[in-house]
A = this chain, B = another copy of it.
Amino acid sequence: MSKLSKYSPLLDGQSIESKRQEIQEYFHNTYELYERVFEVLKDDDVFYKKSEITRHPMIFYFGHTATFFINKLINMKIINERINPNFESIFAVGVDEMSWDDMDNARYNWPKVKDVREYRTKVKLLVDKLIMTLPLSLPINENSPMWIILMGIEHERIHIETSLVLHRQMPIELIKDSVHFNLCSKSSVAPKNEMLEINSAEIKLGVDKNHKLYGWDNEYGVYEERVSVFKASKYLVSNGEFMEFVTSDGYKNEEYWDEEGRNFLKISKAEYPTFWILKDGVYKYRSLSSEMDMPLDWPVDVNALEAEAFCRYKSLQDGVTYQLPSEAEYRAIYDEVKIEDIPSFHESSANLNFYHYGSSSPVNEFSFITQNGKAIYDVVGNVWQWSRTPIRAFEGFEVHEAYDDFSVPTFDEKHALILGSSWASSGNLITKYSRYAFRKHFYQNAGFRYVITEQKEENLSDIYESDELVSQYCEFQYGDTHFGVENFAVSTARVASSFVKNKDKALDLGCATGRATYELAREFEEVEGIDFSVRFVQVGAKLKDDGYVAFSVKEEGEISQNKKITIDELGYESLKSKVSFWQGDACNLKPNFKGYDLIMATNLIDRLYNPRLFLDTIDERLNEDGVLVITSPYTWQESSTNKEFWLGGYEDEKGESVKTIDSLIEVLADKFELIHTQDLDFVIQETARKFQHTISEVSVWKKR
């Protein structure tokens, strides 16, 4: 076993106590490894530098993985108390450059590295305690509280890999050598690539819920595809092989690039791979912590757009069509060479899990043998391999409620799968069934191999929302009305606006798919829509970015009807510049969300894990004369809110019924005057014949 990195624990076992031990050891190993990754930053000042202009500084990532544990544990109601609400808000979101993540760093006062280190220690102690005390039966499954611990650990494993990429993108003078990530010392000329035949196969992707390793939600389900005989390159494309493309002006010739690729070229001004350095007419190579002579036989690190451009170039050269492999073709190679999954796989047989190197290695070092007895290299490990397949949900996909924005936002046909893992991969990343996908312009420790195949990936046009709950909300907010009840987003926005004098800035809190955010923009100069779930937020953002929302409405059983609503039909084209959408937790909002004339909290309070946290400080975010509008049917349920945090719907010690509206008056009385209440109906369609008809109470509170 690698000294640096342990394998993920199995979910089953015979002894509860030894399973707790094993999980604790894995947790400690992960936590320590993560800290080693940050030891390569030369000093604490570097934590405040960004490796890419569009990303947060490194201090964000350093804090992020620890706050993740706490945010998920709170969210799943496994713990009730935060360790540091400020950290757990500012370090919560902004990992990738999604439109709903707030990346404006000017808004933040980043904390001291020392304080974040102390925070990490507190989280470690808490997680340690939970590992030893949480209810546990074997096998662990996705409903076990321990699953959330494993999720936190595997999440940190991902950031071990991605932080190493960010560090590699840092100016070299900010990075120091680490004994833990030792560079491969072998390098030579690039071997000449050749094509190997891979047998046809019936491929089954997707894993069963009873699988014995932790998995992210996108791994589960069923997908079958017949892969015909195809050819795959023997080696990953090496720096040497890629050099031809660069020196043949590959980055300048637009015919090798598709629209997205040309766009990337325009913005990035790239002329060669990002980890190459051109010095005095010679290409050097940037590893994690050094600039070195070009290792021609190591794999080239590129993004998907560069890999695709290379394939187009090579196709024109050879008169044969080269492509990136599909997800199923990659599995066919994997199966062909009979790789065994973790834990049977021995880590010495590939460049992964930090066993051999803290860098890439020659593309002809780690071989795997095909059915015909031919050697193919780096089927797993060394660098990830871009595929031509956009990540999609398998049949039977279910969102894991603890992390509902892990996968769903990537099911947009714009995130391509990367396959096979890299030298910096460990944990879930090196397992057979894991599935990671990135936007095509993103850098990872990723390169590619090419294939000659007859199968083409179909291109989908409009993306219809596959998420049933989100679709239901799309129909609720953008679809038909029923039983003569007005569209609720429209009516609440109108009612709420009517009580506000100054109409500069409004907050639509619990904005769901965003309709009321747009409606408020009819009256307000600026409207921010916030929802806890990215699954919902991205609908409003898509309407703004792509000009439409598309969803399917359930009619009877599994029959549903696709619907598409455009921004023109809605009349929002002129409003879209006023609205923005953000992910956020109403019980722990980031400090920068403030200065509102209206805060509208729609059907939100009875879904919060601790509604008092929201009510206690919401006045601070309102301007003078600001108005808070709360609408709710007060449908308290333990699945959303532990009973101790309900604002109403229970009996007090004297046995008297406590109603929510009375608690609201009590809690808000000091800071607000209740100026209006009314009922407002809404109807949510479940099928063509089944509806929820709810009577929400609107209460309007004027700041004192």
Question: How far apart are A535's CB and chain B's nearest CB, in angstroms?
Answer: 22
Q: From the candidates B138, B651, B658, B694, name the one contacting A689 in the complex (CB within 8 A).
A: B694
Residue A182 is within 8 A (CB to CB) of chain B in the complex: no
Residues of B within 8 A of A138 (CB): 137-138
Residues of B within 8 A of A610 (CB): none
| Cβ-defined contact, A557 with B693, below 8 A | no
Q: How far is the CA of A693 from the CA of B682 in the complex (A)?
A: 11
Interface CB pairs A-B, < 8 A, 29: A12-B137, A14-B14, A137-B210, A138-B138, A555-B649, A556-B648, A556-B649, A556-B659, A556-B660, A557-B634, A557-B636, A557-B646, A557-B648, A557-B650, A559-B657, A559-B658, A633-B687, A633-B689, A633-B690, A634-B687, A635-B687, A683-B693, A689-B694, A689-B696, A690-B692, A691-B693, A691-B694, A692-B692, A692-B693
Q: How far is the CA of A687 from the CA of B634 in the complex (A)?
A: 9
In the complex where A483-B483, A633-B687, A635-B687 touch, is A651 in contact with B692 (Cβ < 8 A)?
Answer: no
Q: How far is the CA of A660 from the CA of B559 in the complex (A)?
A: 11
Residue A558 is within 8 A (CB to CB) of chain B in the complex: yes
**Per-residue interface assignment for chain A, residues 9 to 21, with 1 indicating a CB less than 8 Å from any chain B CB and 0 otherwise:** 0001010000000
**Per-residue interface assignment for chain A, residues 663 to 688, with 1 indicating a CB less than 8 Å from any chain B CB and 0 otherwise:** 00000000000000000000100110
Question: How far apart are A48's CB and chain B's nearest CB, in angstroms?
Answer: 47
The count of chain A contact residues (Cβ–Cβ below 8 Å) is: 39
> Which A-B residue pairs are the 9 nearest by beta carbons?
A557-B649, A557-B636, A633-B689, A693-B693, A556-B649, A689-B695, A691-B693, A559-B657, A14-B14
Residue A412 is within 8 A (CB to CB) of chain B in the complex: no
Considering only residues 587-644 of chain A, those with a C-beta below 8 Å from chain B are 633-636, 643
From A558, A659, A683, residue with most partner B Cβ within 10 Å: A558
Q: How far is the CA of A659 from the CA of B558 in the complex (A)?
A: 10
Residues of B within 8 A of A687 (CB): 633-635
Question: How far apart are A136's CB and chain B's nearest CB, in angstroms?
Answer: 11
| Cβ-defined contact, A690 with B556, below 8 A | no
A685 — nearest CB in chain B belongs to which residue? Answer: B693
Residue A404 is within 8 A (CB to CB) of chain B in the complex: no
Residue A547 is within 8 A (CB to CB) of chain B in the complex: no
Q: How far is the CA of A14 from the CA of B557 in the complex (A)?
A: 41
Residues of B within 8 A of A137 (CB): 12, 138-139, 210
Question: How far apart are A558's CB and chain B's nearest CB, in angstroms?
Answer: 5
Residue A413 is within 8 A (CB to CB) of chain B in the complex: no
Residues of B within 8 A of A694 (CB): 689-691
Residue A101 is within 8 A (CB to CB) of chain B in the complex: no
Residue A697 is within 8 A (CB to CB) of chain B in the complex: yes
Question: How far apart are A487's CB and chain B's nearest CB, in angstroms?
Answer: 16
A679 — nearest CB in chain B belongs to which residue? Answer: B689
Question: How far apart are A87's CB and chain B's nearest CB, in angstroms?
Answer: 33
Q: How far is the CA of A34 from the CA of B139 in the complex (A)?
A: 35
Question: How far apart are A602's CB and chain B's nearest CB, in angstroms?
Answer: 15
